[in-house]
Amino acid sequence: MQKPGAGTRAAQADRTRTSILKAAVKVFSRQGYAGARTEQIASQAQCNERMIYYYFGSKDELFVSVLEHIYAQFNRAEARQRFDLAQPRQAIRDLVAFTWNYYLKHPEFITILGTENLLQGVHARKSSNLRALSGTAVGMLEPIVRAGQEQGLFREDIDIRHVYLMIASLCYFYNSNLHTLSCFLDDALASPSEKHNWLGFISDLVLRGLARGGEGA
């Protein structure tokens, strides 16, 4: 039998843990791993600093949880999308658009992954959940590609991981290097019109890569 108040305490613990995670995402994305301080995260979460160590053990383990958290958020947002498998070409366009717009709306996703790559994936390798999370993301793409193959629109020799990498990289690189590219190319890449044009270009590019027999998009 559950003790009186046990449910309330569990709910409070979940709220505290969630508040710490949200605060950590903000601080790590702004300060990077090395620059972030647990006292900053505690202040942002409006909790005692010792709660970070109670729930996560260390700053290192907190960052692992942050990585899992941002990937899980991406997966949940993607899972809410509805892709029409009867129209696989349009479904691919919709998936590319979702990925592109998610990156635009969640710059913390870009910066935190950039931080972890600078650290050579040391925290990602400590996670026991990232492989499952990546499987979920790739799994959203697979039925679309299969539908296109069944309709004779997409090539049969497709590696789903390559398609996923193509979509992710085309969406990620533009956003992760936006400021330097704008200076280097002397172009207003941050403007809404340029972003819209890039989305159209990469959608066409992905479809050309999938097309059977060199057919266009």
**Domains identified in the chain and CATH numbers:** 1-56 (1.10.10.60), 59-208 (1.10.357.10)
Enter the pTM of the model. 0.88
Structure tokens, 137: 């993301």
Locate the DSSP E strands across the chain.
none
CA 95/CA 81 separation, integer angstroms = 8
Q: Is the Cβ–Cβ distance between 123 and 34 less than 8 Å?
A: no
pLDDT digits (tens, 9 = 90+) for 24-45: 999 999 999 999 999 999 999 9
Stretches where the chain sits below pLDDT 50 are: 1-2, 4
**211 backbone dihedrals φ, ψ, rounded to 5°:** -60, 140
pLDDT recorded at residue 136: 81
Scan for tokens 């053990």, then name that residue: 57
pLDDT recorded at residue 90: 98
Handedness of CA 180, 184, 190, 192 (dihedral sign): negative
Start-to-end CA span in the chain (Å): 61
pLDDT recorded at residue 1: 46
